[in-house]
Amino acid sequence: MVQGMLFFKLFTNLCFFIPKFAVSENDSSQSTSIPNGNLLNGTFASRFGERPGSRNDSSESTSVANDKVLDELIPPEFDERSCLSRYHSVLYRKISSHKPSPLLLSKLRNYENLHKLCGPYTKPYNRTLKRLKSGHVHSTTECKYIVWRPDNGLGNRMVSIASSFLYALLTNRVLLLDLGTDMVGLFCEPFPNTSWLLPMDFPLRNQFRNSELRYAHSFGGMLEKDRINILMKSTPSYLYVTLKKRDYELDKRIFYCDQNQALLGKVPWLILLSEQYFAPSFFLIPSFKKEATKLFPEKETVFHHLGRYLFNPSNQVWRQLITRFYDAYLANAHERIGLQLRVFHANAAQIQTVMDQLLACTLKKKLLPEVDTRNSVASSSKNRTASKAILVTSLYSEFYRNLSNMYLANPPLTGEVIRVYQPSHEGYQHRGDNKHNMKAWAEIYLLSLCDVLVTSAWSTFGYVAQRLGGLKPWILHKPGHGIYLPCKRAMSMEPCFHYPFSYDCKSENKLDAGNLVPYIRQCEDRELGVKLFDDHKELK
């Protein structure tokens, strides 16, 4: 009995443990290179996405080098030390089978040159600011801009940044981000020798939070006030465009109408506010459809490629949070299973409902092993084999505790060793908190390094993780929406556009964006939402 209690106490120390993220202010003492011990037993790809067939000596170094620069997504001008994650992610992530098109790579290189020419405090930027202050454009401007403004949580922000960047690529604009204080230090700069951050002295900052001024200078507001004739005769120096889920319906209607894009194209500064993944719309708007399709022949890789290009963890997030946690708890597992659990309107009953749904999904689909209720962990410990690490990401600790207790009390029928980890459990979403967002970004990235994912319906947090990792997760259905299957496998890697346009610009009638073309269809987790699919794939 005493020996059994000692074993249970030891096993509790190993399994029933929530390793906490610690974000420090100073990271100067950290090494700038990954030691050999972090290369997973000294092998490069034997456990992380090794390609079929063997590599000969002459081709292996070329292939490894190509993997390191993400199939040329990474521009050659960068200093590796400035952003370790950009080059070292290949040591932790499966090698992607999805390759960027030559046209996309060329477009990115051209964009980088444009951003360097027109970025903050360059001569063209300063000249455009003078015209911005004058109120109207009297001559053709050398550079045009999209200023992205944040809304909602980190996942929403990232999918809308990616959508805004695609719009910038298609319209030859420069993307500048108003990140605010709560997103400082999350990402590396994606464009060499310049910055994507909107300068603090940008003249319109003082009106960003003034809803009346924003509406007065919005495209929809001008149309509603019958000022569209003024717009067409004298191009304004800036316009607000709001593509949020509920507000500014008129902005959303006219933005997605092709005939309005020519007018928007004349405006040097577009101030864009959105929390949506509106990238699918560019595959329907005639002005952009052809080029968007050529940039992404595999349509469900839009966020996969743009996300890997844009969103690389800063050195602080990479070293202090991501690799430190991964190396300590996930690296030696035979398989890593990521669980992303979002609870809307959380209470004890809702949490229990999601827990029951999670178990019904993971046990039925054999993602997690069933337990042997006839034997205790101690009596079966000698027969245990390979291990699985379960990474739980949630605002709440109940899911972690329930899973830990389940595998502590009884052994898995498969004989595997199960470890359960949860990096943080904040209890609620901390609005405006930079350290909270750092932890959230680290958890998104850790999820993307897993082999299998289970995510929550409607959650952009999960969308970003699965798309960065090139994974198709099992999606838990949102409780209370009349669907009795516990989960469904995603058929496309793309995020869901939750609130797509529903207005036919020619007939001025409502339409269903999911029925217009074969490659834009209803999302697996939201009936009203749409997402991109590859043409040849059928939804099952």
Q: How far apart are CA 172 and CA 165, in angstroms?
A: 10
8 Å CB contact between 275 and 156: yes
pLDDT of residue 68: 67
Q: Is the dihedral of CA 525, 516, 468, 117 positive or negative?
A: negative
Mean pLDDT, residues 158-167 taken together: 98
- Of 131-135, 339-343, 472-476, 523-527, the poorest mean pLDDT is in 131-135
Q: How far apart are CA 334 and CA 52, in angstroms?
A: 20
pLDDT of residue 11: 32
CATH architecture assigned to 315-490: 3-Layer(aba) Sandwich (3.40)
Q: How far apart are CA 11 and CA 524, in angstroms?
A: 39
Mean pLDDT, residues 406-428 taken together: 89
pLDDT of residue 356: 95
206 C-beta neighbours (distance < 10 Å), count: 9
Q: Of 256, 289, 280, which Cα lies nearest the Cα of 505?
A: 256
| Residues ≥6 apart with Cβ < 8 Å to 380 | 372, 411, 415
Q: Per-residue pLDDT for 303 more than 80?
A: yes
Q: How far apart are CA 465 and CA 460, in angstroms?
A: 9
DSSP 455-498: EETT-HHHHHHHHHHT---EEEPPTTSS--SSEEE-S-SSPPBS
Q: How far apart are CA 534 and CA 109, in angstroms?
A: 25
**201-242 pLDDT, tens per residue?**
999 998 888 888 888 888 777 777 655 555 566 788 899 998
Distances (CA, A) of 228 to 137, 209, 212, 280: 16, 24, 18, 27
Q: Of 280, 276, 277, 239, which Cα lies nearest the Cα of 261?
A: 239
- Of 12-16, 180-184, 390-394, the poorest mean pLDDT is in 12-16
Find the distance separating the first CA and the last CA of the chain, reported in whole Å. 53
| Residues ≥6 apart with Cβ < 8 Å to 271 | 147, 149, 204, 208, 214, 238, 239, 240, 241
Burial of 12 (0-12, 13-18, 19+ CB in 10 A): middle
Q: How far apart are CA 151 and CA 502, in angstroms?
A: 22
| Residues ≥6 apart with Cβ < 8 Å to 81 | 32
Mean pLDDT, residues 9-35 taken together: 41
In the numeric block, the tokens 């005639």 are attached to 286
- β-sheet bridge partners, residue 271: 147, 240
Above pLDDT 70, what percent of the chain?
79
Q: Per-residue pLDDT for 384 more than 80?
A: no
**47-61 pLDDT, tens per residue?**
223 322 333 333 444
pLDDT of residue 504: 78
**Strand, coil or helix: what is 296?**
coil
pTM: 0.86
8 Å CB contact between 306 and 162: yes
Give residue limits of the domains in the chain: 102-310, 315-490
Q: Per-residue pLDDT for 264 more than 60?
A: yes
| Residues ≥6 apart with Cβ < 8 Å to 233 | none
In the numeric block, the tokens 């009106």 are attached to 207
8 Å CB contact between 387 and 418: yes
**Strand, coil or helix: what is 266?**
coil
Mean pLDDT, residues 484-502 taken together: 90
Q: Is the dihedral of CA 321, 322, 324, 330 positive or negative?
A: positive
Q: How far apart are CA 492 and CA 284, in angstroms?
A: 18
Give 18's pLDDT tier (boundaries 50, 70, 90).
low
pLDDT of residue 193: 94
**431-475 pLDDT, tens per residue?**
778 998 999 999 999 999 999 999 999 999 999 999 999 999 999
pLDDT of residue 347: 87
Tokens linked to 536: 């040849």
Task: Measure CA 129 to chain center.
Answer: 32
Q: How far apart are CA 179 and CA 489, in angstroms?
A: 34
Above pLDDT 90, what percent of the chain?
55
Task: Measure CA 516 to chain center.
Answer: 26
DSSP 88-154: HGGGTSPPPS----HHHHHHHHHHHHHHHHHSTTSHHHHHHHHHHHHSB--S--S--EEEEE--SSH
Q: Of 112, 173, 177, which Cα lies nearest the Cα of 149?
A: 177
Q: Of 260, 283, 315, which Cα lies nearest the Cα of 86?
A: 315
Q: Per-residue pLDDT for 286 more than 60?
A: yes
Mean pLDDT, residues 133-145 taken together: 75
